Structure 1
Amino acid sequence: MTQHPLSVVLAGGGTAGHISPLLAIADALRAERPDTRITVVGTASGMETRLVPAAGYELATIDRVPMPRRPSGDLVKLPVRLVRAVQQAGAILDQSAADVVVGVGGYVSTPVYLAARRRSIPVIVHEANARPGLANRVGARFAAVTGVAFAQTQLPGAVHVGMPMRREISGLDRSAARAAARQALGLAAETPTLVVTGGSSGAASINRAVEAALPALAAAGIQTLHITGRGKSLTDSAGQRLAAPGYTQVEYVDGMETAYAGADLLLARAGAGTVCEISAVGLPAVLVPLPHGNGEQALNAESLVAAGGALTVADSLFTADWISGRLIPLLADPAALDAMSKASASLGIRDADRRMAAFILETSGRSKA
């Protein structure tokens, strides 16, 4: 009997934090088994509507089912919404003849996990954050494999695999790529370099502190590449794009591996993807965890800080004075930066995408040609 090509359904979306590892897993799986049919399930309102087709994968959508954390009108509507979304997910699994379901969390994953369980389709979970979300806490209860990005993540049967990431990042040699990266970014080749990013949507508090610290950074001979976030360009009192000595402002960089290669030090939030990527490439960092939510960003950074690869500062304490008193002296200390780089790299995992792909093939029984 001829065996049909492997069919894998990947569920996740909403934010880049879910979509990036999902696409990295898909790429690794396709590299291993090019004939694999891959279907991504998301919602019609998330970033996946743009990113998944751009990466060359089929996208199917189901209704978004918010999981209210307190009594509200959404809580009353939850049962009906969830039943409908599970039905929609089940139709996608049936149409694709799914052999394995892989979920990375987020609103869309819970209905797909439940639909897979009803059909006895094996489920594989990947949790990106140190503190797992509700969807993956549900999925991990009956998952065949649960991979986690951080060793301290508490889920049943968790296997520490690291964070699936694009090969351009996981395979980056910062030293070898530095000169070309700085040239591409319009930066001086030998000047101490700070790269600032608040993620794709920017971080207003980080942007304000950096803007106020620009005179001190320039006086210290530091050049700054400030990735402000889409629609978050900084302007001066005349409404013109902010300019200062040694300061380069862009809304985004197409390929963060270039920014990582050009940086001596990164200033950023502590999203799971950022923490894992800078560990993989050995980039020293100052991390300002997002002050909202369930505190997951501070937890994401804990191991890296404990190892000596990064510093953290509370959002409320991150000011121009902190930059002058702590960050600038660090950038002026090559030995300290080198020690941080080595400490960061000691935690880095570069093959999480391939490990997740191997789990998929083993679970499906297709691990051998």
Structure 2
Amino acid sequence: MRVVLAGGGTAGHIEPALALADALRHLDPGIGITCVGTERGLETRLVPARGYELELVPAVPLPRAITPSLLTVPGRLAGAINAVVNVLERVQADVLVGFGGYVATPAYLAAKRRGLPIVVHEANPRAGLANRLGARLTEHVFTGHPEAALPKADYIGTPLRREIVSLDRLSMGDKARSWFGLETDRPTLLVFGGSQGARSINEAALAAAPALRRAGVQVLHVIGPKNLVEHEPPPGDPQYVLLPYVDRMDLAYAAADVALCRSGALTCAELTAVGLPAAYVPLPHGNGEQALNAERIVRGGGGLMADDSELSPDWIIRNVLPMLHDPERVAAMSEAAARLGRKDADIILARKVLEIAR
């Protein structure tokens, strides 16, 4: 069997696709898997690193407003569709699974042209343009959010890496903290802004560093691979560990008592799967899906939420610091977050894909 996966741009599209690929290979070791992406996305690094074939096709971003660039879309889209058709024919694909992003639109249309079964997975409560199109072309639509507004969709959760869903944070905590050079017996805050980092979170956390240190809190702060900071916290105790990127996010989650982060669909799915409470700061741009992701967790008792404009060092000191000094509250929030998590979406979707393809 040959499966083609289409999803690119951000880790939120790519990681669920790769989690599905791992699950498919677990169920059928002889399966052929090809990922389709564009040269501008993280897939150029993430997909080969996980051992999967990557085919690149032209990116066709669709303008959000009527501009002269809109006139160039049909021609560029036709070229991208033809490029995906060539991939589908060359690998003799049996099914196409799309996760959204620039590459998904031509992929759905190419699969429709070829008469292939199409499977759509939408992680967000509000689907992007590509997945709204894909959902019109198939009856096989699955979502990672129970309130996703797509017709005929089945809620299964978001496929996640096995090292995340199998993580036992309590038993791994000491080892994980040692891995990052942290002490094993201090309250620990994990700060990150998704795969690219977040400037407002970086600045607020760094400005709060002296107060956190005085309160005995150690920090693991992932600033993002392309982000720079003007003033790093000076060496001292407790530790403030500043890293550009972390490949082992499972260990970062295990090291932490509380997270301060954005609320993208993948982040929320991973934190609830591992039961890590968080203070969420939704991205202020886009269609508001990050706020919807966080609202569900906050309602369930697994986190706090602040508007990006509200976030400040003082907000962290007033809201996050008391959590870190209240182990009973952290434990209750951890249990609440875990109740909202789904750990089996990768296997569920893999079985669905194999059934549909057959």
The separation in 1 between residues aligned to 2:94 and 2:119, in whole angstroms, is 11
Alignment gaps of 5+ in structure 2: none
- Alignment equivalent of 2:170, drawn from 159, 175, 181: 175
Question: Match of 2:74, SS?
Answer: helix
- 1:1-369 matches, within 5 Å, as 6-236=1-231, 242-246=234-238, 247-365=240-358
Give the residue type in structure 1 aligned to 2:53. Answer: E
TM-superposed deviation, 1:20:
0.5
Question: Match of 1:289, SS?
Answer: coil
The separation in 2 between residues aligned to 1:70 and 1:265, in whole angstroms, is 40
Identity of aligned residues (%): 51
Give the residue type in structure 1 aligned to 2:245. Answer: Y
TM-superposed deviation, 1:164:
0.7
TM-superposed deviation, 1:304:
0.8
What are the Cα deviations for residues 272-328 of structure 1, in whole angstroms up to 9, with x where unaligned?
Answer: 111000000000100000111111111111211110101100010110111111111
The separation in 2 between residues aligned to 1:117 and 1:102, in whole angstroms, is 12
Give the residue type in structure 2 aligned to 1:153. Answer: A
What are the Cα deviations for residues 166-200 of structure 1, in whole angstroms up to 9, with x where unaligned?
Answer: 10001101001111101111111110110101123
The separation in 2 between residues aligned to 1:86 and 1:232, in whole angstroms, is 35
TM-superposed deviation, 1:154:
0.8
Question: Match of 1:35, SS?
Answer: coil
The separation in 2 between residues aligned to 1:49 and 1:211, in whole angstroms, is 31
The separation in 1 between residues aligned to 2:340 and 2:224, in whole angstroms, is 28
Give the residue type in structure 1 aligned to 2:47. Answer: V
User: Would you say the 8 A contact 1:144–1:363 is kept in 2?
Assistant: no
TM-superposed deviation, 1:142:
2.2
The separation in 2 between residues aligned to 1:172 and 1:356, in whole angstroms, is 20
User: Would you say the 8 A contact 2:206–2:233 is kept in 1?
Assistant: no
The separation in 2 between residues aligned to 1:167 and 1:242, in whole angstroms, is 36
TM norm structure 1: 0.94
User: Would you say the 8 A contact 1:290–1:297 is kept in 2?
Assistant: yes
TM norm structure 2: 0.97
The separation in 1 between residues aligned to 2:106 and 2:199, in whole angstroms, is 34
The separation in 2 between residues aligned to 1:199 and 1:243, in whole angstroms, is 25
Q: CA RMSD in A?
A: 1.2
Give the residue type in structure 2 aligned to 1:174. Answer: R
Count of aligned pairs between the two proteins: 357
TM-superposed deviation, 1:231:
3.5
Alignment gaps of 5+ in structure 1: 1-5
